[in-house]
Amino acid sequence: MLAIFFCGSPFLRGATLRYNRRMTAKLTKELAAALHATGDRELKVVDPDTSRVYFIVESETHRQAMDALHRQQDRDAIAQGIAEMEAGLGTPLDEAFDDIRANLGLRQRQK
């Protein structure tokens, strides 16, 4: 199965087609041949109407890339949180739990 980074064009020239995220766009014979010629590499394509650039890759490659991106985003968020904590920013833990209890309508802790 193939995945298309940034699905915006159904890759059908001259076709009037409503595309949504649940649909699977079919490659034209021309695009399929170009994709096969790349071997295991990505295929760069350009939307002739918008000049936007897309890359077509095998779904496992896309999954691995997205997993790596999410891991990096998680690391960045953790590092940012640590930096904010060390700078004295944020809400103390006891106060944060008090806010959560209040928002959920739970009994406040004994002080």
Tens of pLDDT, residues 2-37: 444 444 444 545 545 566 777 788 888 998 999 999
| pLDDT band of 108, cuts 50, 70, 90 | confident
Distance between CA 1 and CA 59 in Å, rounded?
6
Burial state string for 14-39 with b = 16 or more CB within 10 A and e = fewer than 16: eeeeeeeeeeebebeeebeeebeeee
Where do the domains of the chain lie?
1-111
With a cut of 90, say whether residue 91 has pLDDT above it: no
Whole-number pLDDT of residue 78: 96
Tokens standing for residue 60: 């496992």
Whole-number pLDDT of residue 16: 52
Whole-structure pTM value: 0.58
| pLDDT band of 101, cuts 50, 70, 90 | very high
Residue pLDDT, tens place only, 38-82: 988 899 999 999 999 999 999 999 999 999 999 999 999 999 999
